[in-house]
Homo-oligomer: A and B are copies of this chain.
Amino acid sequence: MIKRSGHNRTKKVCSVCAKRKVKCDRLVPCGNCVKRGQESECIKFATLQNTQDAINATSDYLPNVLNLWQNYEYWILDIGLFKTQSLNPRKALYDLESNIQECEFWMNYLNTEQSFELLNFTVENLGALYFGCLGDINDLFSQLEQYWRRRDKKETKDDIVYYTSDDYYWNALLWAIFAMCIYYIPMEELEQKFSTKPICDWLEIDDDQGWTESLQLTIFQGFVKCSLVQLQKANFFAYPDIRIIQSFLILETTSFASSNYAVANALLIHCIHVGRLFNIDFNKQYSEDDPLMGISKSTFSKIWFRLCTCDYYHSSPTKRISCHTDMPTLLQHAAFYQDMPNVNIYKAEENFEALCWKIVSLDRDLDQYLTKTFKPQIKTLDAVKREIGILQQKITNKGHEEDSINSQFERFIASFLSNMVSWKLQKMYLIYFETANSLELSIHYSEVILSLIRNNIKSGNSLFNKHPLILSSLSRIVSFYAFYNIFSENVEVERTTKDLHNLITQLPIIIGEKVNGLLFVIDRFYSLKVLWEKVQIVDSALGTIHPVFKILQNDIKFISKFNNRTPILMRGVKSMIPNIRGVYDDEEFEYMENEEDELDLNINESNQFKLIVSEFQSERNIKEIFI
């Protein structure tokens, strides 16, 4: 909830009130708009207003430009890059039956021995990613035995053997683990365990090449499909079960969510429903539970922490059901976490899931300002700094040289997350308060993050770097510096941008196609820098505006419109069928971009100005980040 106090008043009356000719209280959103249910329009106006202020500044533009960054980071690097899918049901030739058949191919491809090897690999290397959401790991081996017993029975018996929903849920969970394994397993190990022949035969391609990264991606995607089809076969709508949450959380440790945002969102929301149906959410733990229930609940609390973390990472204007919002941040309620019967803060230190959530809650405290029209209070930033310092200390204390790979992976994730919070913090000190050294400190933290990643490679743990968090975090950092680099000559910034850029180009293909979107954005910033340097400020008589600002502003507008679309039920007079404006057809994109925007305060742009902007936009259309 936005506090309705005075400190976030804007300078102008909102467009809605202006049009209706009523008194506006200039809060964001304003009282009239709240009353009329037009909050989003009111907020939209204030956001644009802010942007406008930034680009209208005549001199000392850097602070103002940086202010624009927060919005840009949110809409382009978070929403646009990772959470926007252009879906056209009219072009979607999905076939349920052939999907089921493909799944059978993969399930026949994997033999008993391989399956146990995969499971062993995950137990030895990927424990950090999934132990927390399971009761007892040993049970997985007996479940895998039962899985093969079931299959043998089905193959040998003459009469039809039906699986129960329970059987399919186990299949789904096991195949989620296999998929995760294929995602993380190094190529050398994959080569030893699997033959490419059956896959190449089935895909009708040559198998001379042996294992390639793209073949690894294919098998990974196939295994993910298997897990999802098994869930469908379990009839998960009719038989809610905790294992759907467990399977989902395991798939979330891969690039599954970023490649299938719509599916992952729908699944996530179903998981929230199931979690609440079975009362596994945080608030429902009683201190007088019997020991058996106690152990269950401690696992449930980890599952819920993980689900809230995923839920937070899925936040977007197109996902308006969430559970993480019910969970207070460390900042708001340090007491909350201390007072939970089952989440003793001292005991919970040991608990990786709780620790991660605490760090993520601080990330949330910071990232909420990406879309706010007012700046944070400096004491908020200082408080986050204090908390993250304490958590970082705990992570460091935990490390031992003789750690297992699982512990090393846990420590890497926790360190990575906490350094990311520190980086965001410095970025915000810089943007909102121009604090001395904040740019240097931000570079320091980005170097720490880089060295964490490089260290994994050096110590033979480069698989850690496939964690989806790495890409999404790096995309924020590298774009910020590439953006900064447009407007300011700074050797350090330039070097950091290049280092990060290099690292990103070396990331393995399996982490998904989002890398390409990110590289496109970085390239585009370089081109914007050229444009910035080439074009002097145009139309200085009518308020100073540079084409670069206009383009950046248009980017935000485009992605935010796309994500706040409403479908049109009728389309022309002839065909009265549902259609989503700007979603289904390519020509609709044109419409969106050419549309006269009534909030556009620069209608007096010269033709030359318009030409520069439109040329750039047609050569480097921002929609390429998600198509």
Contact = CB atoms under 8 A, between A and B. Distances in A.
Given A162-B95, A296-B570, A578-B135, A321 B276 contact: yes
Contacts of A37: 282-285, 340
B279 A565 contact: yes
A158 B332 CA distance: 65
A627 interface: no
A272 B321 contact: yes
A87 B164 CA distance: 12
A286 B577 CA distance: 22
A132 B241 CA distance: 35
Interface stretch (A259-267, A395-403, A472-480): A259-267
A154 interface: no
B320 A36 contact: no
Given A41-B286, A296-B570, A577-B139, A565 B92 contact: no
Interface stretch (A205-213, A287-295, A429-437, A447-455): A287-295
Given A19-B288, A279-B564, A578-B241, A295 B262 contact: no
B566 A279 contact: yes
Interface in A386-437: none
Contact of A273 (B100, B260, B269, B339): B269
Contacts of A19: 288
Interface string A295-320: 11101100000000000000000111
Nearest to A299: B569
A162 to B, nearest CB: 4
B164 A89 contact: yes
A38 interface: yes
A219 interface: no
Given A35-B339, A94-B234, 12 more contacts: A40-B283, A41-B286, A91-B164, A92-B238, A95-B233, A135-B569, A136-B576, A237-B262, A238-B260, A278-B565, A284-B566, A299-B569
A14 interface: no
A165 interface: yes
A568 interface: yes
Contacts of A341: 36
B566 A300 contact: yes
Contacts of A144: none
| Copies of chain A in the complex | 2
A38 B568 CA distance: 45
Nearest to A572: B292
Contacts of A35: 339
A499 to B, nearest CB: 37
A280 B567 CA distance: 8
Contacts of A568: 292-293, 296
A97 B319 CA distance: 32
Given A569-B295, A570-B296, A165 B94 contact: yes
25 contacts: A36-B341, A37-B283, A37-B284, A40-B283, A90-B164, A96-B100, A135-B577, A135-B578, A139-B577, A237-B266, A239-B262, A240-B266, A242-B578, A243-B578, A266-B270, A278-B565, A278-B580, A280-B567, A292-B568, A292-B570, A293-B566, A296-B570, A297-B566, A299-B569, A300-B566
A513 interface: no
A31 to B, nearest CB: 12
Nearest to A270: B266
A263 B163 CA distance: 20
B232 A232 contact: yes
Nearest to A161: B93
A166 interface: yes
A383 B242 CA distance: 44
A169 interface: yes
Contacts of A90: 164-166
Given A237-B262, A273-B320, A567-B296, A89 B166 contact: yes
Interface string A22-43: 0000000000000111111100
B276 A165 contact: no
A266 to B, nearest CB: 4
A283 B136 CA distance: 46
A416 B626 CA distance: 51
Contacts of A238: 87, 92, 94, 260, 262-263
Contacts of A100: 96-97
A138 interface: yes
A186 B236 CA distance: 34
A567 B278 CA distance: 6
Given A273-B266, A321-B272, A576-B135, A567 B242 contact: yes
A166 B92 contact: yes
Interface in A36-52: 36-41
A306 B136 CA distance: 45
Contacts of A233: 94-96
A580 B272 CA distance: 17
A143 interface: yes
A272 B269 CA distance: 10
Contact of A262 (B94, B240, B260, B272): B240
B340 A234 contact: no
